[in-house]
Structure 1
């Protein structure tokens, strides 16, 4: 498939720390690519570097031929890139509706798209007029993802959406992500829940020590316990 996002030799420094040490990554258009790796491997830094929140100190970073390195985060968002951070980024004092409105670039929400989102996350409709701080952890995660979905995006970056959530909520997120995939939205997702990774991933890249050390198809990694153990130190089968 055609590539949408490409990183070549990307380095990122945060203060005195050299976090990304030559990341090479290709995200095909219309696919969900999983970014896996142990804690501290550089996965979150990769997403934040793509989003312009942290600046790449070297390398090439392009979205469909557009150089992202000189762009500020709002400019990258205007190219059609959505971001769901690990901390969810929900405004607790604002209502669910107000949180969604802030994510709509023109200040208006398409009603048909909003109803589609409600079909995926019914709790958001139920608590539409209430402060987002009243939501449970799982509901806040749904709101965070829904904000990225309120408009069609070329690319959505999602950082550990299942972290700390109950299995039933994770299952609901998996179904919602499957629906989003059916719209041919390109997704790059960091995830530690390997059941979710296996259920959703088309492609996979594994990071270690600030570099991508493996890239391929998710199904191939899921079928190879020896490769899982070598790259991740565990077997996906132990996390079903």
Structure 2
């Protein structure tokens, strides 16, 4: 499958279009060699989707970008700077936010306190907060509740809202729709659309194809720690043979 890589869409190879680019990135976790030469380009201002079978290296890629696991080889260029050696707080300061699959909220703190911690200097912009409430009204309802008392879907809202509370250049999101009710998924879709419109670039790992097929602009498919295909989401969505070749199943059933 390593020969399945295809050329990126026209115009996306121009330096001005690249917000994030991984070149030859290897990541080891203990004795395990997880990423084995990842090459990935995320165009500025769009939503890029990272697909692949379980264990392909998708989450490790996000964590390596965020500096939670260090690349043992290769470069991670973000907005013209190699961030591979930077600390996670420095990477966050550069304008990247990360929403892990585990959500990583503070269960003992209220919803309000969780968002305060994510805001720069603890000061939340009222207008932006109301904008977030428009997508996730439950957060306003449970504003003073301990986050640990919320449902799984509500906790995911808190995790996404924490990443949205400040304008970001790049948002890394791992499996945001997992276990969520359809109504919450729809709100999440609208939030991502507006984030794109506000010039926030998004790199999304997701298994729910109905969620990403009309939301994603570009797609990269991983297998065995490498990117084996890049192209437009529309190209992959319209080509069942390509889906079978890259993922071993039709994406229409990959939900």
Task: Report the TM range for the smaller structure's normalisation.
Answer: over 0.9
Structure 1 unmatched runs, 5+: none
1:147 aligns to 2:162 (yes or no): yes
Match of 1:110 in 2: 125
Correspondence 1:53-132 to 2 at 5 A: 53-132=68-147
Question: How many Å apart are 1:177 and its aligned residue?
Answer: 1.4
Q: Which residue of 2 aligns with 1:171?
A: 186
Aligned 8 A contact 1:47 1:157 in 2: yes
Matches within 5 A, 1:1-240: 1=12, 2-239=17-254
Secondary structure in structure 1 of the residue aligned to 2:120: coil
Which whole-Å CA distance do the structure 2 matches of 1:234 and 1:168 have between them?
A: 27
Task: Quote the offset at 1:163 in angstroms.
Answer: 1.1
Question: How many angstroms apart in 1 are the aligned matches of 2:209 and 2:158?
Answer: 23
d(CA) in 2 for partners of 1:13 and 1:231?
A: 24
CA separation in 1, counterparts of 2:135 and 2:79?
29
TM-score normalised by length of structure 1: 0.97
Note the C-alpha offset of 1:171. Answer: 2.0
Q: Note the C-alpha offset of 1:62.
A: 0.8
* Structure 2 counterpart SS, 1:130: coil
RMSD: 1.0
Tell me the CA shift for residue 239 of structure 1. Answer: 4.7
CA–CA distance in structure 2, aligned partners of residues 199 and 164 of structure 1:
20
Contact 1:174 1:199 in 2 (8 A): no
After TM superposition, the score normalised by the length of structure 2 is 0.92
Q: How many residues align?
A: 240
Please state whether the residue corresponding to 1:200 is helix, strand or coil. coil
Query: Alpha-carbon deviations, 1:70-119, whole Å to 9, x = none?
Result: 10000000001000011001111100000000001221000100110011
**CA contact under 8 A between 2:207 and 2:254: conserved in structure 1?**
no
| Distance (Å, rounded) in 1 between the aligned partners of 2:180 and 2:248 | 23
